[in-house]
Amino acid sequence: MSPTWQPLILAVAPNGAYKTKADHPHLPMTAHELAESAAACLDAGATMIHLHVRDAGGRHSLDADAYEAATAAIRRAVGDRVVVQMSSEAAGRFAPEQQMASVRAVRPEAVSIGLREIATEAVPERTLADFFQWLADTEIMTQVILYSVTDVHRWQELRRRGMIPEWPYFVLFVLGRYAAEQTSSPSDLLAFLNADDGAYPWAMCAFGRLEHACVMAAAASGGHVRVGFENNLYLPDGSLAADNAALVTHAADAARVLGRPLADAGTVRRLFARGG
């Protein structure tokens, strides 16, 4: 079967580390708001939520209790029909050891790891290797975030050298993060695909108003997609989206146009389980 026909994993990143309600009044920040957003996005077609939590002042947080509270609220709202992915993003606030410690404390079902944030000169390679081994041993669904072709090559090098153990990883290519005004283009995907070794399933997220065009390009290329207010607030026609579910709806419609069914949470869990 052509990869284009494989079920498409549609994830939503509803808030991110930086935006607030000043950017959009319906940007979810509390556990209750995240749960409401998860339910609406599930109905629209999403099967994974990329979760950021905030502290009392509204700033990005890696507090384990906050993640557990948000996850519990989402589970009450949607049960196990959505995969809850913890973000370990530094956002300029946290050092690599704090990021890794937070993941160990939360022990989430799924986590995203920005490779360039923890594979740094400040982190001994043995510490990095031990962390990835712990993720595998704990059977945490791990998505590795790559912002550039340089990151892709670094990812491949670490695996080749045995610093990263074999595990069913999920790779995320980020389009437009370092482009002018953080605006992506579908053509940005080509460099990632040319550098990728095809070892693992991949997804993409895209900064800016061309998010939907990038979704179409990724879905047509056999990849998976992540949409949401973390990276973009606008619909394909340039108007402000009412909420995250509106962006999910457009992505789901794109998948249907391309003939790709949407994956459910059970499919995602089987794909990224040990031996999946």
Predicted confidence (pLDDT) per residue in 20-39, tens digit: 999 999 999 999 999 999 99
**Confidence at 2, pLDDT banded by 50, 70, 90:** very low
Token readout for 253 is 């419609």
Q: How far is CA 112 from CA 115, 169, 180, 242, in A?
A: 9, 10, 25, 26
**Confidence at 1, pLDDT banded by 50, 70, 90:** very low
Rg of the chain in Å (alpha carbons): 17
- In whole numbers, what is the pLDDT of the chain averaged over residues? 95
Q: How far is CA 42 from CA 32, 74, 162, 203, 229, in A?
A: 15, 11, 38, 18, 15
How high is the pLDDT of residue 183? 80
Q: Which helix (H) or strand (E) holds 104?
A: helix 96-106
Instruction: Read off the pLDDT of residues 39-54 as tens digits, 9 standing for 90 and up.
Output: 999 999 999 999 999 9
Q: How far is CA 214 from CA 25, 205, 218, 224, 233, in A?
A: 25, 8, 6, 11, 14
- pTM, to two decimals: 0.95
Measure the CA–CA gap between 211 and 176, rounded to whole angstroms.
Answer: 10
Instruction: Read off the pLDDT of residues 110-162 as tens digits, 9 standing for 90 and up.
Output: 999 999 999 999 999 999 999 999 999 999 999 999 999 999 999 999 999 99
How high is the pLDDT of residue 274? 73
Q: Is the pLDDT of residue 180 over 70?
A: no
**Confidence at 273, pLDDT banded by 50, 70, 90:** confident
Which residues, 6 or more positions from 165, have their beta carbon under 8 angstroms from its beta carbon? 129, 132, 133, 136
Lowest mean per-residue pLDDT among 125-139, 175-189, 209-223, 245-259? 175-189
Token readout for 32 is 């209750």
State what percent of residues in the chain have pLDDT above 90: 93
- Looking at the chain, how many residues does it have? 276
